[in-house]
Amino acid sequence: MAEQSVPSDARFAAEFNPDVGVEQVAAIYAEAAFGAAESAGRTESMLEEFDSLIADVLDRHPKFETLLGSALIPHDEKTAILDRTLGPTASSLMLNFLKVVSRHGRLDCLRAIHRRFHAVYDAARGRVPVELITATPVSDAEAAAIAGMLGGMVRGEPVLRRRVDPALIGGAVVRVGDTVYDGSIARQLENVRRKMIDRSAHEIQSRRDRFSNPAGN
Amino acid sequence: MKFKADEIASVIQQEIEHYDSQIDVREVGRVLEVGDGIARVYGLSGVMAGEMVEFPSGVNGLAFNLEENSVGVIILGDYLDINEGDEVRSTGQLLSVPVGDAVLGRVLDPLGNPLDGKGPVATTDRRPLENPAPGVADRQPVKEPLQTGIKAIDAMTPIGRGQRELIIGDRKTGKTSICIDTIINQKNTGVKCFYVVVGQKESTVAGLIEVLRAEGAMDYTTVILAGASAPAPLQYVAPYAGCAMAEYFMYKGDHALVVYDDLSKQAVAYRELSLLMRRPPGREAYPGDIFYCHSRLLERAAKLNEKLGGGSLTALPIVETLEGEVSAYIPTNVISITDGQIYLQPDLFFAGQRPAMNVGISVSRVGGAAQVPAMKRVAGGLRLALAAFRELEAFAQLGTDLDAATQARLDRGYRMTELLKQGLYSPLDVIDQVFAVYAGTRGHMDKVPVEEVPVWEEGLLEFIHEKKQSLWDKIKRAGDVEIDKATGRNEEIDAAIAEYQDLYSSKRQTATL
């Protein structure tokens, strides 16, 4: 089982972005950044740097993020700020990338770009993000076993992300992309409930007299 | 009613015993935004256009717009129960409605759910809403008549089984009444009727259903109701639902009649959906595929060939015009799709001519072949004569002196228009119509005062049924009358009407004395 490419859960917390337009823009920048990193042969380090930028800088200094995203501050000033704050530590590749994004006024999409970057990276490395939802926490060994089973189903290497949802009662739900494989007890109970209602309604409709009590009324 | 607990328990037990747990595989997306009967969904990457999707509240939707990053879904039900972020699952099924004998006599919504409080529809048969129309090889020409029971229509713009006849006119000109009369007249003919209500006032519809019930027409009629308060998606799919239910009988070899009341409201609902989905607006802000929306619906009306059972589906679409504007977008579209139209005019309506049909511009392009031969012989030339009369009437209003021949033609015309008037919910048998039209066109009424024509006609039909039933039966059996080519007359009928005429005038004399 491959470890997921970012240790923190931060990137999944904001996974659902209702703004489809931002996602579309972010996909383009992420592709470009990934291409540049690949040809420089420094994809992994770039990824690490990007994770750290989100987790250590933007998460901790929300005002800095607002400043970068603001349209009131001109590009020149933003580059100067980037040079002063990140310049000493960031790689030239990362810094250039941020400046390019800044020049197009898209620094507000940085989190979306980061998310897409991971997606592009995972896809290029043949990794398939899989969400595993269970009623109780699963051990690493169990998770590895499940990942092994999933290996045959998904094209590529499954990257598990675990989540606990007590509402499932038991069993597991696996989500790959838009497809959900639901083996939870809650769903099975729901299925049984629906089937029983359907069947009973059908039986009543097909022979209405069968269920009435001749003695009663 | 008491239930037998052990019977129910056994059913439930069987169900549990036969239940084998399967992993539930589904394709999901999330609701981005919802409102006005539509939802925008992120995900659902494998969904197909027209596929049914399910919201967590149990409400169904229809994938309507497939875009690069989202799917536009029209919600068939209560959209207020759906929240942003809800999980939407695709079902892999097309929208379908229950069909079969069980739907007859019911009032259903466009999804087949009962609205009449008579419990669920007891049938397992379903048909998809959208079904391709039969191809050319599957059809045969329209050849059997579908009697509306209305003299003016059956005589001059006859409708055949499998035809699509548009009924067009301004508001309050009697469009719905013609269709209700037609439905009532299908009693004992085996034709199953489907009355699709789109965007009409529900109080009016309740009244119509009551009329149908009182006339005994609900036994073979289904009402598919998407009233004015129904959300646009339901109004949009209602005609397709009605068509699917009617088609079931056509493919079974039976005959069905479906009335769409009315398609202009459906077009408005479709326009609303399309604009909400940001499809580009065209003329009158209707989307580009509004023509296809109606043509694919009306093309499903057909007369099938004998190999497929020879069933038929007749469609009577209704279109409402504004201020007689037939050249508006929807009226011209539907006129070009249908096999003729019955045009109703407000000025005729207010002049007391009911049905307020404008004979000159109402046509039936295929019904002539399906007309009962007797009627065809008797009513031939009636249309032209009436059109000539209207022209003459306009000329006569100038006040010029008229020669005797012209005056005679005018008098005949006044009596003919009077004869073509017909009361609400009182359809006539076609042979009765033959007698009435014969009497009118052959000049038997020329001596009857214009205002007495309806009474005279009623008396004639009564007389025929009482005294000349054998002649009536003979024509009914043959479906034809012998008309002398030279004189254009049939002696037997002439004699019968003359006998009645004597009776009538003597009765009238005693009444005046």
Beta bridge partners of B42: B30
For residue B354, which of B479, B177, B158 has the smallest C-alpha distance? B177
Condensed to tens digits (0 to 9), the pLDDT of residues B422-448 reads 999 999 999 999 999 999 988 899 989
Query: In chain A, what residues touch B12 (CB-CB under 8 Å)?
Result: 196, 200
DSSP per residue, A12-30: HHT-----HHHHHHHHHHH
Q: What is the mean pLDDT of residues B238-267?
A: 96
User: Residues 154..193 of A with a Cβ closer than 8 Å to B: which?
Assistant: 175, 177-183, 187-188, 191-192
pLDDT at B466 (0 to 100): 93
CATH number, domain with residue B453: 1.20.150.20
Residues B157 and B298 both lie in one domain: yes
User: Is there a single domain that holds both residue B256 and residue B400?
Assistant: no
B365-389: average pLDDT: 89
Range of the domain at B280: 101-118+130-371
Q: Are residues B330 and B390 in the same domain?
A: no
Looking at the complex, does the CB of residue B513 fall below 8 Å from at least one CB of chain A? no
What percentage of chain A carries pLDDT values higher than 70?
A: 87
Label residue A60 by pLDDT band (50, 70, 90).
confident
Q: Give me the number of domains chain B comprises.
A: 3
Specify the pLDDT at position A9: 38
Domains of chain A: 10-123 (1.10.520), 127-205 (no CATH)
Q: Shortest CA distance to B148 belongs to which of B333, B330, B357?
A: B357
Same domain for B329 and B383? no
Closest of B457, B443, B449 to residue B489, by C-alpha: B443
Q: What is the dihedral of CA A183, A188, A190, A194, to 10 degrees?
A: 120
Q: Please indicate if any CB of chain A lies within 8 Å of the CB of B19.
A: yes
Mean pLDDT of B99-106: 94
Using a CB–CB cutoff of 8 Å, tell me whether A131 touches chain B.
Answer: no
* Over residues A106-133, mean pLDDT: 88
- CATH code at position B178: 3.40.50.300
- pLDDT at site B198: 97
Is the CB of B12 inside 8 Å of chain A's CB atoms? yes
- Average pLDDT along chain B: 92
Q: Residues of chain B with pLDDT > 70: what percent?
A: 99
Q: What is the pLDDT of residues A179-192, one digit of tens each?
A: 888 888 998 888 88
Q: How far apart are CA B200 and CA B320, in angstroms?
A: 12
Distance (Å) from the alpha carbon of B26 to chain A's nearest alpha carbon: 5
pLDDT confidence band for A211 (50 / 70 / 90):
low
* pLDDT reported for residue A158: 86
Predicted ipTM > 0.90: no
Picking from A205, A212, A216, the nearest residue to B122 by CB comes out as A205
Same domain, B263 and B213: yes
Give the confidence band of B325 by pLDDT, cuts at 50, 70, 90.
Answer: very high
Secondary element (H or E) of residue A157? strand A157-164
Give which of A20, A168, A178 to mutate to test B binding, by max B Cβ within 10 Å. Answer: A178
Identify whether residues B295 and B440 lie together within a single domain: no
- Given pLDDT bands bounded at 50, 70 and 90, which one contains residue A12? very low
Give this prediction's pTM: 0.87
Q: Per-residue pLDDT for B331 more than 90?
A: yes
Report CB contact under 8 Å: A181, B45: no
Per-residue pLDDT band at A16 (split at 50, 70, 90): low
B209 and B232 fall within a common domain = yes
Span B342-367, pLDDT tens digits? 999 999 999 999 999 998 889 999 88
Region B323-328: mean pLDDT is 92
Phi first, then psi: give them for residue A154, nearest 5 degrees: -95, 150
The answer for B 45-104 residues in CB contact with A (under 8 A) is 45-46, 68-70, 84-85, 89
